[in-house]
Amino acid sequence: MKVDNQHVQQKVFDSAKKLLFTRGVKGWNTDMLAREAGLAKNTLYKIIGSKEQIVEAVAMAQVRENAESAASFLQTEIDWADKQKSLRAVRTALERFTANMSRFEPVVLPQIYLQYPGVEVKINALVKDLTLLAHDFFQQAKDNGFIRPEVDPEVVMDMVRAMVAHYIQQGADKSQFEDRVKKAFDYVLQGITA
Amino acid sequence: MKVDNQHVQQKVFDSAKKLLFTRGVKGWNTDMLAREAGLAKNTLYKIIGSKEQIVEAVAMAQVRENAESAASFLQTEIDWADKQKSLRAVRTALERFTANMSRFEPVVLPQIYLQYPGVEVKINALVKDLTLLAHDFFQQAKDNGFIRPEVDPEVVMDMVRAMVAHYIQQGADKSQFEDRVKKAFDYVLQGITA
């Protein structure tokens, strides 16, 4: 974004987000975005370089929001000594993570990836940090006897990634995505806890 | 294949299979296939329509072999009353399934899909029948109290598919694939059994 005006930038961002959520990726163009944001097209182009750039900005912000919420859980102190309490905490966090994702990832993200493959690369890079945090978290859970000692954290991470990717590729809708990912996470959790 | 000569057809098939396993999809052409099979190129083209057709035939045969082995297990009588014995039977079958797949699926199949996307469609159709058998098997396992009553067989099938697809897409090598898929299946099994 080129023009250094917080308010106008925010307006463009919010308008693009609204269009993405209501019309998908292909159902709008920059003329409509200018109208939605109440800007002349000239002014809009001083703020965004292209449709791809603003779509990328919205997608990154959305995924970053979910990733940060997940990251903050992964870094909280868990009372591992209380098995029931820690199981509840992990289950609640997984449910929130799934619910957060279901608003954006399964429906809008696949369209974005199809249209702008470059965005997928950047989102994957963004999610990489989360993987490292999750890895530490699993190690902690293992060290504290929450997860069975022989469980391979790499494989568990792969399972989480694979399930999310599977339902995104399947084009599952919001409630299907939430329901199935929740069940899958639950089976994995039951399969790895001590 | 156009020429009705079992022996020559088999020779071409075996040669194509050897080339696929040793050189991947792109490391050979029909000249090399003719040489490998000891045929003139004219004769070869009477037998195969194109490189794609013979690659498809080998891929289908390979996947069908694994699918039939899995299907035959899914249709055996399991002694559900003996929990330990049935758990061992399922685990052994999953290990054999993974080992069978690891010879071909993770290394050669992604190359084939990339080069000839039509083959992926046909393989997916081939695997569909297996999904139906697996579905019946899970239902049986549930009815007999082997799997917890609230487990959703659809989601379990999705997990199996997602894990296999994940490691195929990752380009995991044979032993990585075998090791990780085995672990993932094991966690799922522990997560769903009663």
Mean pLDDT of B99-106: 81
Asked if residue B63 and residue B143 are part of one domain, the reply reads yes
Token readout for B120 is: 């992926």
**Nearest CB partner across the interface for B151, out of A163, A180, A187:** A187
> 3-class DSSP state for residue A193?
strand
What is the overall mean pLDDT for chain A?
A: 89
In a mutational test of the B interface, the residue from A147, A181, A190 whose CB has the highest number of chain B CBs within 10 Å is A190
CB A192 within 8 A of CB A147: yes
For chain B, give the percent of residues with pLDDT over 70.
98
Residue B52 maps to a domain: no
Residue A32 pLDDT > 60? yes
Residue B2 pLDDT > 80? no
Asked if residue A182 and residue A122 are part of one domain, the reply reads yes
Encode pLDDT of B5-51 as tens digits: 788 999 999 999 999 989 989 999 999 999 999 999 999 998 898 99
Q: Do A162 and B158 touch (CB under 8 A)?
A: no
Mean pLDDT of B120-145: 89
Give the span between the Cα atoms of A41 and A31, in whole angstroms: 7
Which CATH number do you get for residue A168? Answer: 1.10.357
pLDDT, position B20 = 93
**Nearest CB partner across the interface for A158, out of B154, B158, B184:** B184
Asked if residue B18 and residue B71 are part of one domain, the reply reads no
Mean pLDDT of A75-101: 90
The structural domain count of chain B equals 2
Q: In this prediction, does ipTM exceed 0.90?
A: no
Mean pLDDT of A36-46: 92
Mean pLDDT of A64-71: 90
Name the pLDDT band for A142 (thresholds 50, 70, 90): very high
Give the span between the Cα atoms of B37 and B14, in whole angstroms: 8
Q: Do A187 and B159 touch (CB under 8 A)?
A: yes
Encode pLDDT of B136-182 as tens digits: 898 899 999 999 999 999 899 899 889 988 888 777 788 888 899 99
CB B29 within 8 A of CB B35: no
pLDDT, position A51 = 94
pLDDT, position A40 = 94
To the nearest whole Å, the CA of B180 is away from the closest chain A CA by: 6
Asked if residue A123 and residue A76 are part of one domain, the reply reads yes
Task: Kindly list the distances between the CA atom of residue A24 and the CA atoms of A76, A108, A112, in Å, as whole numbers in the listed order.
Answer: 35, 6, 8
The C-alpha angle B135, B171, A150, rounded to 5 degrees, equals 65
pLDDT, position A35 = 96
Token readout for A65 is: 């929001």
Mean pLDDT of A87-94: 91
Residue A108 maps to a domain: yes
Q: What's the alpha-carbon Rg for chain B, to the nearest Å? A: 19
Give the span between the Cα atoms of B69 and A9, in whole angstroms: 59
Which CATH number do you get for residue A20? Answer: 1.10.10.60
Asked if residue B75 and residue B165 are part of one domain, the reply reads yes
To the nearest whole Å, the CA of A55 is away from the closest chain B CA by: 26
pLDDT, position B4 = 59
Which chain B residues are Cβ-neighbours of A161 within 8 angstroms? 166
Return residues 15-34 of B near A (CB < 8 Å).
none
Which chain A residues are Cβ-neighbours of B184 within 8 angstroms? 155, 158-159
How many residues in chain A?
A: 194
Per the structure, the complete domain to which residue A26 belongs is given by 6-47
Residue B60 pLDDT > 90? yes
Sign of CA dihedral B14, B20, B22, B28: positive
